[in-house]
Amino acid sequence: MALDTGLRRCDVSGALCARRGYNPAVDTKRYHDIISGRAAGFGASGWRVFLWLMSLLYGVVIRLRLLFYAIGILRKRKAPIPVVCVGNVSAGGTGKTPFVALVCERLISMGMKPAIVSRGYRSLEFGANDEAKVLAELLPEVLHIQNPNRFEAVREVARRGANIAVLDDGFAHLRLKRDLDVLLFDGLRPFGYDALLPLGLLREPLRGAKRAQLAVITRADISTPDIIRYTVGRLERLGFSGERVLYAEHAAQTLSRIDVSAETLPLDYLRGVQVALLCAIGNARGFAGTVEKAGAKIVEETNLTDHFAYDDDWLKHHWPAIAKSAIERGALYIVVTQKDAVKLRGRLSGSPIPVLELGVRMVVRGGNWALDAALERVTGKSPT
């Protein structure tokens, strides 16, 4: 079905990407098809050659930076309070935001006063980015400072009473010394296609993962046994084994309407229902898996670039077409993530189709004992 609203399909399942407007979405599926090798033909091969050259240049810069830190040309700085880092070695969504929330909850249970520190990537007009808004809803009592200079941010939260800092997505920020590094590996694409950006998704050579003390395989529930076995085997070769490897899943926690005044719905409301998805996150495939696990049947997906702004012009010109297309495909609802909901809530009144926010929380298989043990080594305290 053709749309004349500046939208185009990204894949055969009906995903849509905006072609114009503020903070335009890019064809992320096409990019992943190219770097994964799924895309064939002369054009895709040409792109892979170009991306390979760019990856070589990027690799030189990254390796020099790592070398300079290793030999002391670039120096690390010790913060005034302990620092726990939650990060990854690959670009794209691995579940850092819900895992940061889990770490803060465990620290609070130990009697600590954590604060979150992040770079503030793509901060919005009101000063905080979408991930910070999600964390503010999940952890309203936890201070969150966004500053590209993470060392200064940690000093600031310490001045404001925090006694431990949780660094959100800071594994590559070597300037700041950490007391614990937790690395997340997405259970759907754990090693970023085994190539450095932009030919793959790796931010640095995979051996850099050895700097971490814990490895967490996220979305383990919607991965496959073969991928899990492969991931565990690779992690073992990097030195992770036993209690140093955790398995986590994005568990559906809440369901609520956002196109009208907040209305909480039971989670089984989605079971057997046809829905369309709208998301602007780093791993749309993972979100789809979580929705399917909740029992819904996905009939259409609209996948926008991570941190998409949803400005007024986009909502005016593109939202009606997305809603119309979802209805025509038989969807009863459009489902969005928490990260999208913080930008859309209160702005969709009059929508021709109900819009639901699916809230998730990170759950570690077998309980939090291994995570707690690692945190206890940093804090000297046990959960109560």
Per-residue pLDDT at 14 exceeds 50: no
Q: Are residues 136 and 157 in the same domain?
A: yes
Per-residue pLDDT at 139 exceeds 50: yes
Q: Are residues 102 and 206 in the same domain?
A: yes
Does residue 2 lie within any of the structural domains?
no
pLDDT one-digit tens code per residue, 161-184: 999 999 999 999 999 999 999 999
Q: CB-based contacts of 50: which residues, under 8 Å, 6+ apart?
A: none
Q: Are residues 235 and 126 in the same domain?
A: yes
Q: What is the tally of structural domains in the chain?
A: 3
What pLDDT is attached to residue 25?
43
The mean pLDDT of the chain is 90
| pLDDT band, residue 263 (cuts 50/70/90) | confident
Residue 162 neighbours by CB distance under 10 Å: 21
| pLDDT band, residue 21 (cuts 50/70/90) | very low
Contact between residue 102 and residue 370 where contact means Cβ atoms under 8 Å apart: no
What pLDDT is attached to residue 65?
98
Q: Are residues 137 and 175 in the same domain?
A: yes
| pLDDT band, residue 32 (cuts 50/70/90) | confident
- Ramachandran area for residue 40 (φ above 0: left; ψ -120 to 50: alpha; else beta): beta
What pLDDT is attached to residue 10?
34
Does residue 1 lie within any of the structural domains?
no
CA-CA distance, 86 to 181, in Å (whole number)?
6
CA-CA distance, 201 to 153, in Å (whole number)?
27
Q: Which helix (H) or strand (E) holds 236?
A: helix 225-237
| pLDDT band, residue 2 (cuts 50/70/90) | very low
Does residue 339 lie within any of the structural domains?
yes
Does residue 17 lie within any of the structural domains?
yes
Higher pLDDT, 262 or 69: 69
Range of the domain at 168: 83-250+363-379
Question: Phi and psi (nearest 5°) for 17?
Answer: -135, 135
Q: Are residues 134 and 278 in the same domain?
A: no
Per-residue pLDDT at 314 exceeds 50: yes
Q: CB-based contacts of 84: which residues, under 8 Å, 6+ apart?
A: 103, 107, 164, 165, 166, 167, 178, 179, 180, 182, 375, 378
CA-CA distance, 162 to 115, in Å (whole number)?
6
Taking residues 251-273, report their average pLDDT: 93
Q: Look up the CATH number of the domain holding residue 182.
A: 3.40.50.300
**Residue 39 CB-density burial (10 A; 0-12 exposed, 13-18 middle, 19+ buried):** middle
| pLDDT band, residue 384 (cuts 50/70/90) | confident
pLDDT one-digit tens code per residue, 207-237: 999 999 999 999 999 999 999 999 999 999 9
**β-bridge partners, 201:** none
What pLDDT is attached to residue 17?
34
Does residue 331 lie within any of the structural domains?
yes
CA-CA distance, 32 to 48, in Å (whole number)?
11
**β-bridge partners, 7:** 18
Taking residues 35-52, report their average pLDDT: 95
Q: Are residues 231 and 108 in the same domain?
A: yes
Does residue 318 lie within any of the structural domains?
yes
What pLDDT is attached to residue 3?
30
Q: Are residues 287 and 220 in the same domain?
A: no
**Residue 158 CB-density burial (10 A; 0-12 exposed, 13-18 middle, 19+ buried):** middle
Q: Are residues 25 and 36 in the same domain?
A: no
CA dihedral 114, 366, 92, 191 (to 10 degrees): 130
Is the peptide bond prior to 148 cis by the omega test (within 30 degrees of 0)?
no
Higher pLDDT, 123 or 296: 296
CA-CA distance, 93 to 134, in Å (whole number)?
15
CA-CA distance, 360 to 256, in Å (whole number)?
12
Q: Are residues 95 and 217 in the same domain?
A: yes
| pLDDT band, residue 145 (cuts 50/70/90) | very high
Q: CB-based contacts of 77: which residues, under 8 Å, 6+ apart?
A: 151, 175, 176, 177
Does residue 78 lie within any of the structural domains?
no
Taking residues 190-200, report their average pLDDT: 96
CA-CA distance, 250 to 92, in Å (whole number)?
16
Does residue 76 lie within any of the structural domains?
no
- Ramachandran area for residue 246 (φ above 0: left; ψ -120 to 50: alpha; else beta): beta
Per-residue pLDDT at 6 exceeds 80: no
Q: Are residues 52 and 139 in the same domain?
A: no
Task: Kindly state the tokens that stand for 378.
Answer: 């940093």
Q: Are residues 309 and 196 in the same domain?
A: no
| pLDDT band, residue 5 (cuts 50/70/90) | very low
Q: Are residues 157 and 306 in the same domain?
A: no
